[in-house]
Amino acid sequence: MSQYERGVILPTDEVVLRMAEAAGQQIVCYWHLLNKSRVAGRVLPEIEKRPLSEAVLRLLVQVEDFQRSGLEDLKRIAADGKISGADESIAYEDALEQIRLLIEAAYELQYAGKE
């Protein structure tokens, strides 16, 4: 077990499933995926275990931020079917970052601790 905790060896998927079930911590499965798979490490965001109330509020803030600016930017950019010029390129990248933060917050809510 200490070799798992120190990262010397990675546990098998089956061991991780049993550990997550025994501990009631499904986030362990998510973290295992990030550490085991380079693909998962590239496409899934790093997330923290948060209390439920914090995770809910964080998600709501991210939704509101995206609604306030990212959504309008994406509609404006998509209206002509292409990213036109430097201003739209910057706005598009900003909107994608807001979406990334929104996805991260959604995962954190999914794995939030029950208070």
The answer on 91 and 57 residing in a single domain is yes
The answer on 105 and 56 residing in a single domain is yes
DSSP 3-state percent helix, strand, coil across the chain (nearest 5): 75, 0, 25
The answer on 58 and 33 residing in a single domain is no
Residue 31 lies in a domain: yes
The answer on 98 and 59 residing in a single domain is yes
Q: Which domain holds residue 12?
A: 2-43
What pLDDT, on the 0 to 100 scale, is given for residue 4?
A: 64
* Cβ atoms 26, 111 nearer than 8 A: yes
The answer on 56 and 39 residing in a single domain is no
What pLDDT, on the 0 to 100 scale, is given for residue 113?
A: 77
The answer on 77 and 29 residing in a single domain is no
What pLDDT, on the 0 to 100 scale, is given for residue 115?
A: 45
Low-confidence ranges of the chain (pLDDT < 70): 1-5, 7, 114-115
User: Using CA atoms, how far apart are residues 105 and 6, in angstroms rounded to an integer?
Assistant: 27
The answer on 57 and 39 residing in a single domain is no
Beta partners for residue 51, in sequence order: 113
